[in-house]
Amino acid sequence: MTASHSAAHLAEQLALIPFFSLLDTALIQELAEAAAYRTFATGEVVFLEGEPSPGLLLIESGRMKVVKSSAQGREHILQILAPWEPANAVAVFTARPNPATAIALEPVQAWLLPRSAVTRLLRKHPGFAERVIENMANHMVRLTEIVADLSLRSVIERLARLLLDEAVEDRVERPRWYTQPELAARLGTVPDVAQRALGRLAADGLVEVSRREIRLKDRAALERLLA
């Protein structure tokens, strides 16, 4: 293990994450020393729905998607996880099986914090427990919004929300994995419909689409779609 993948390096990073920032140095070091370093290739399953959760996963680099799949193989993407976002927190803190499957979208380096080490913190540090409850509540809000969008909004409205949520300085980057099928899976539709929705926004002058990015040209008009 290199210095950048050491427990000391992980402890430094944990101290910067809001999820763990209330912990004192000794508790962060204890957690870091219990963690295991993991790597995943593009397309590799990180954790599988229905299997026991070994612990809380923190991505150091790369991105992965969290998905639910139908018996026919259709995929709906619940979340795209970026570096230092906690993954699978619900399963860790409730002792339930993984509620969804996570798949690496690109090479991923991650740390696995064992469930036993994380649950010890809940007993030792009430402030950490409060952060966990807040995280779970936010997760429930996101899931409720997904259900509401799928039930009540059109594909073009769901696309407008996604672009507004993800844009940084009115730009949504399109990594290699940001394909039409992936976009469709995030919108709860099929690729042809997702492509037509994106084309409609472009034709109306609301966005500009290129291979590497989607640029928001009229944020106010996108927001009006959600009014």
Q: How many domains does the chain have?
A: 2
> Which tens digits make up the pLDDT trace of 31-62?
899 999 999 999 999 999 989 888 889 999 99
Q: How many CB atoms lie within 10 A of CB 44?
A: 13
Q: Are residues 86 and 56 in contact, defined by beta-carbon separation less than 8 angstroms? A: yes
Instruction: Check whether residue 172 and residue 209 sit in a common domain.
Output: yes
Mean pLDDT for 4-12 is 81
The pLDDT value recorded for residue 4 is 55
CA distance 59 to 126: 25
> Of 132, 150, 168, which residue constitutes the final position of a domain?
150
- Tokens of residue 56, six digits: 């809380």
Q: Residue 50 is part of a domain; what is its CATH number? A: 2.60.120.10
Instruction: Check whether residue 122 and residue 212 sit in a common domain.
Output: no
Sheet of strand 171-173: strand arrangement: 171-173, 213-216, 207-209
Q: How many CB atoms lie within 10 A of CB 83?
A: 14
In degrees rounded to 5, what are phi and psi of residue 113? -95, 115
Instruction: Check whether residue 97 and residue 16 sit in a common domain.
Output: yes
Instruction: Check whether residue 42 and residue 95 sit in a common domain.
Output: yes
> Of 150, 178, 197, which residue constitutes the final position of a domain?
150
Instruction: Check whether residue 171 and residue 218 sit in a common domain.
Output: yes
Instruction: Check whether residue 164 and residue 208 sit in a common domain.
Output: yes
Residue with the two structure tokens 């950490």? 128
Q: pLDDT band for 63, please (50, 70, 90 cuts).
A: very high
Instruction: Check whether residue 100 and residue 168 sit in a common domain.
Output: no
The pLDDT value recorded for residue 174 is 93
> Which tens digits make up the pLDDT trace of 89-129?
776 777 778 889 999 999 999 999 988 888 888 787 777 77
* Domain enclosing residue 159, as ranges: 153-225
The pLDDT value recorded for residue 145 is 82
Q: Residue 158 is part of a domain; what is its CATH number? A: 1.10.10.10
> Which tens digits make up the pLDDT trace of 129-180?
787 777 777 777 877 888 777 788 999 999 999 999 999 999 999 999 999 9
Percent of the chain with pLDDT over 90: 50
Instruction: Check whether residue 107 and residue 195 sit in a common domain.
Output: no
Give this prediction's pTM.
0.80
